[in-house]
Chain A
Amino acid sequence: MDVPETVTTALEDRPVAGATCLEAGAGVGNTTAGLLDAGARRVYAVTNDADHARTVRERVGPGGPDESDRAALLEADLRDLPLADDSVDVITAHGLFNVLPPESLDAVASELTRVAESDCHLVVDDYAPLPDDAEMRDLFSVEDAATELADGRPALTFYPPAALRRLFAGYGWVFDRRRTLLDPVPWTESHVEAHAEVARSAAERLPDELGGPLCEEADRLVESIGEESVGEMYSVAMRLAEE
């Protein structure tokens, strides 16, 4: 399967070959595949989503497109990892933080730090907050409003890179480098539709007078946006300071 250039670009200057890696938030397994491609000795791919776990298991499992005996899929919570202290050399969080609500940031950062070796590398790839005039920003607002009302937490939070740097600095991580992975970020029709769908399905769980207008606004935005290339996807690399 193809490894996206966002992933290869984020990993190309990291010492992945021969390393024990943790892919925090495995999603559909793009970064897991990228780490395997780059010669990781072992990749622990962690997700708390059963569908994602199955997808990644099929992808790296026997007969899958990225079959490898170096990958292990762990269905677990990043706030409570089934991994030993000081056990991984490279940690990746590609597109993870935008799905983490602010209140879980500390628990995740602290747990990632616990499992990190003393000179571990951390790569955090994510989206910068969108500019005010981006229509996609309106769609994300509707998505967040609907999920916040339905589930008590927003679907997405876009953290500025400096915020995540400071978060990890508090746990002893030292900034290494920053790269721009995508500028602009191409929100294609399929992205627009997928985010609208998250908004609609949350809105449907709300009372009609609340959910109805949110659904309508999501539909209107899909029509109006079509596709939009806007914003930045960044990659911040850090190292755990030697103790």
Chain B
Amino acid sequence: METRSLGDTGHESSVLTFGAIALNWLEQDGADQMVELLLDRGVNHFDVAPTYGDAELKLGPKLRQHREDIFLGCKTQARDYDGARRKLERSLDRLGVETIDLYQVHGLEYDEELDTITGEDGALEAFRDARDEGLIDHIGLTSHGNPQLILDAMNRIDDLETVMFPLNPVVVGKDGEDHDYEAVLERADEQNVGTLGIKAFAEGPWPPTDELPEADRPYANWYEPVDTPAEIEERFDFAAAQGLTSVVSPGDPKLVAMVLDAARRYDGMDESAQRSLVERLRHDESPVPEQLHH
């Protein structure tokens, strides 16, 4: 599988990153098999979080067995020093490892949060102390919030080495600052910050729960995913062709094998085909056939 430099971290990440939330829905045997499959196919970057149910615990055994072959990303939603420190120690404990390669501020959403984490007694101070102690190696940020906030964070956090954010053809087709994740990608490239793409496989939000109760959803994802091999492949190709360092796999284990297959076969995507996908989804989104042309 293709690998790309993850910013200045010195790590060469596989173009597919495993979103380890998928392990939460598997029994331990299944989780072990999935990790073996991923490693066998060349995936070397895993991403987990304490909020993903049992995922840390289920990743633990195989992670410890193959610790050298896995670049491990983890993250915390704690915004203050003490909270972040406690969460980090808990993740290390649940994963059963000495260090986490990439520790990320998880799900940054509001300006105030950015003030808190960068301020005195903020989470980033805890991250830096942990880095000095050798508990973590690199600092990152994840957000599906406003791109302008992510840009602001990149300005304000000098030692930020990776950003994780949504990128897919629907987002790319929308103009305006609120959807301009391409600006984040561009800035990250300028600053040599590694980029990890999420929501690459999102088809759209789930129907409202009175139409489709949560318990009746066929997939464990936050959003309704595309789920045919052809769609998965074009979505993977699109995300990888935007220039992200790595594309994060979707949360449902049923989809992982298809995504793996697409990632292994990835060999670029023509720009005219990328635009074709953007156009197709733009028209899908529009409620009435207001136009006959592209």
Contacts and interface: CB of A to CB of B under 8 A. Distances in A.
B291 A5 contact: no
Interface residues of B, number: 26
Given A28-B291, A182-B275, A190 B283 contact: yes
B65 interface: no
Contacts of A1: 175
Interface string B258-294: 0000000000001111011111101110101111111
B173 interface: yes
Interface in A195-209: 195, 197-198
B24 to A, nearest CB: 35
Contact of B276 (A28, A197, A229): A229
A27 B275 contact: no
Interface string A1-14: 11111100100000
B284 A183 contact: no
Contacts of B286: 190
B275 A9 contact: yes
A188 B280 contact: yes
Contacts, number: 77
Given A182-B272, A229-B280, A3 B175 contact: yes
Interface residues of A, number: 31
A6 B175 contact: no
A181 B174 contact: no
Contacts of B283: 186, 188, 190-191
B275 A6 contact: yes
B291 A2 contact: no
Contacts of A98: 293
A185 B276 contact: yes
Contacts of B172: 5
Contact of B294 (A3, A4, A194): A4
Nearest to B292: A194
Contacts of B176: 2
A60 interface: no
Given A2-B175, A183-B273, A28 B279 contact: no
Contact of A5 (B278, B288, B290, B292): B278
| Among B276, B279, B286, B293: residue with most chain A CB under 10 A | B293
A193 interface: yes
Nearest to B293: A95
Nearest to A198: B292
A4 B289 contact: no
A5 B282 CA distance: 10
Q: 7 shortest A-B CB distances, which residue pairs?
A: A186-B280, A190-B289, A194-B289, A183-B272, A95-B293, A180-B272, A188-B283
Interface of B: 172-176, 270-273, 275-280, 282-284, 286, 288-294
